[in-house]
Amino acid sequence: MSNQNQVQLMAHLVAGYPNLAISLSVADALVQGGASFLEIQLAFSDPSADGPAIQTACASTLAKGFTTKKGFEFIAEVNQRHPNIPLFLMTYASLAYAPGIESFIKKAKEVGVKGVIIPDLPFDQDEGLIAACQKNGIAYIPVAAPSMTPERLHKMTQAKFTYIYAALRAGITGSKTTIDDQTLRFLDAVASGGAKVLGGFGVRTGEQTKSLSNHVYAVVAGSVFINEITAHYNPQNEVESKIKIASAIEAKAKEIIGG
């Protein structure tokens, strides 16, 4: 666990949003702002576990011609710039299944991915993802939800995963999350098998981070950054957009960490 005042941040970004050049500077700004991990999402046409902000960002990215190949190139570039920041890849089953899960994970390994989060390949219907990850030395990161039955959560926490992503509420990413005793009890249950807990869904403020700090290994924030990008992006002025977005993202990351 991290110390009282400084919690680690796992910052989420969509590769290629609002375009490849700016998303690279978003990655830089997140690291500059103090992120300890980056969760890089490869856009999928039907991201059913994401909120409207990320869904719309993914649709826009795909409309601009995003491909898995470009996504992997993006990750390789981020990895080269920030070799000390572990990169986790987030996407959906379809993108891993289409090329074959083995070959997808092998490719992920090559570009420097340290863990994968694929919410619609749950730990007991994973299509061989867990085995492929083990073979390549990548962490399979399951997503726990507060609505899970205690039996199912127990099964997950006892399965010896290095990390578990804990969704802080029953909904989907990006809307309002209140952190109460129940949330903290859930986080502690997720951690009970020894996994490092990445807590996210609706984290927007330093206040939330502070109340989570003793219960998670890192907080995850995503939609809040996407919203900053969307608000500051002006396609008519790429240069100015890039500067504005980078400074907004860095400031937001610092605010969430509480630094």
Partner 1 sequence: MSDNGFFGSFGGKYVAEVLRRPLDELEDAFNRATIDAAFLEELRLLQRDFIGRPTPLYFAENATKALGGAQIFIKMEGLAHTGAHKINNALGQALLAKTMGKTRIIAETGAGQHGLATAAACAKLGMPCEVFMGEVDIRRQQPNVAAMEMYGAKVIAVKSGSKTLKDAINEAMRDWAAQFDTTHYVIGSALGPAPFPDMVRFFQSVIGKEVQEQSKERKLDVAALCACVGGGSNAIGFFSPFIEKKEPRLIGAEAGGIGPGPNENAVRMSGSAAKDGIVHGYKSRFLLDEDGQVAETRSISAGLDYPGIGPQLASLGLSGRIEFRAITDEKALEALQFFARQEGILFAMESAHAGAVAMQMAKEIPANKAIIINMSGRGDKDIFITSPVFRPVEWELFLQSELDRLHQGVDIHYAKALPSAQKNEGNR
Do you know the residue count of the chain? 259
CB of residue 233 vs partner 1: minimum separation in angstroms? 17
Cα–Cα distance list, 199 to 111, 115, 202, 213, 238 (Å): 25, 15, 10, 10, 33
Comparison of 173 and 213: residue with beta carbon closer to partner 1: 173
Active site residue 46: no
Cβ closest to partner 1, residue 122 vs residue 206: 122
Q: Judged by CB under 8 A, which stretch of 24-32, 163-171, 222-230, 251-259 contacts partner 1?
A: 163-171
Q: Please, which residues have CB within 8 angstroms of residue 237's CB and are 6 or more apart in sequence?
A: none
What are the E-state strand segments in the chain?
8-14, 37-41, 87-90, 113-117, 139-140, 143-144, 163-167, 196-200, 218-221
46 binds partner 1 (CB under 8 A): yes
Which is the catalytic residue, given 39, 102, 126, 238? Answer: 39
Identified binder of partner 1 from the candidate list 64, 106, 109, 152, rule CB under 8 A: 152
Residue 219 and residue 256 in contact, taking contact as beta carbons nearer than 8 Å: yes
Q: Quick check: 142 binds partner 1 (CB under 8 A)?
A: yes
Question: Which DSSP string corresponds to 161-191?
Answer: -SEEEEESSSS-TTS-----HHHHHHHHHHH
In the annotation, is 110 catalytic? no
In whole angstroms, what is the distance from residue 165 CA to residue 88 CA?
Answer: 11
Contacts (CB under 8 A) with partner 1, residues 86-115: 93-99
119 touches partner 1 (CB under 8 A):
yes
Catalytic residue of the set 50, 77, 110, 240? 50
Task: Give, as ranges, the residues between 173 and 232 that touch partner 1 (CB under 8 A).
Answer: 175
Stretch that binds partner 1, among 63-71, 180-188, 209-217, 221-229 (CB under 8 A): 63-71
List, in sequence order, every residue forming a beta bridge with 11; answer none if it has no partner.
Answer: 38, 221
Select from 228, 232, 181, 225 the least CA-distant residue to 203: 225
What is the set of active-site residues? 39, 50
Please report, as ranges, the residues that interact with partner 1 according to CB under 8 A. Answer: 44-49, 51-52, 55-56, 58-59, 62, 67-69, 93-99, 119-122, 125, 127, 142-145, 147-149, 152, 167, 169-172, 175
